[in-house]
Amino acid sequence: MFVCVDKVEAQSVAVRNNLLYDATLTPNLGVDLKIDSLWTVGAVVGINVWDYDKQKNEKWRHLLIAPNVRRWLDEEPFHKNYIEGDLIYSHFNVGNTTMPFSLYDAVKEKRLQGNLIALGGKYGYSWILARHWRIEAEAGIAVGYAWFKEYECATCGQQLGEGDRIFLLPQLGINIVYIIN
């Protein structure tokens, strides 16, 4: 058996954190893997397990998992312009709070617990800060479907009903990125 290798390249991996998502008190981590000269695949995970105010049962708890694929529009991955497609899944328990962009006005007076799935697209730009460090700005939109149970706002409140909803979800990010070569 003969094996011939013409060129060997180190795989590149990027680890990123969305600072805007951090601002919602949601720790998050994304990992992207270079699969060829213009494409990367990855995933983002974010989790928020805290109540904002236990006395009022004010919360925005959720687990988010979002696999993604990026097409880099310049000469190599992790450099300048990209478009991204992502599939978003989230389990949520939200109540007695105001959601950004007036997404669920019902959560001001009720607690919703359920799941959502969405398909999104973004445009992003990556600036090189140093050999291994980048900062990215990205914006896009996702369309999705959520299904949930409605409860009274009180802790362990009585179930009021069930619902579902199709929605548009704005996607914004400022990511700090570390490249592992």
Mean pLDDT of 148-161: 83
Domain ranges of the chain: 13-180
Residue 61 has φ and ψ, to the nearest 5°, of -80, 140
pLDDT tier for residue 3 given thresholds of 50, 70 and 90: very low
Cα–Cα distance, 163 to 71 (Å, whole number): 36
- Predicted TM-score of the model (pTM): 0.85
Mean pLDDT, the chain, whole residue set = 87
Residue 78 has φ and ψ, to the nearest 5°, of 65, 25
Residue 1 has pLDDT above 60, yes or no: no
Q: Report the pLDDT value the prediction gives residue 162, as an integer from 0 to 100.
A: 95
Domain 13-180: CATH architecture, name and number where available: Beta Barrel (2.40)
**H-run or E-run covering 135:** strand 133-152
Poorest-pLDDT segment among 20-29, 35-44, 58-67, 101-110: 101-110
Cα–Cα distance, 173 to 161 (Å, whole number): 34
- List CB contacts of 130: < 8 A, sequence separation 6 or more: none
Cα–Cα distance, 70 to 171 (Å, whole number): 15
Q: Report the pLDDT value the prediction gives residue 154, as an integer from 0 to 100.
A: 64
Which residue from 39, 37, 42 is spatially nearest to 17, judged by alpha carbons?
Answer: 42
Residue 62 in contact with residue 93, Cβ under 8 Å? yes
pLDDT tier for residue 8 given thresholds of 50, 70 and 90: very low
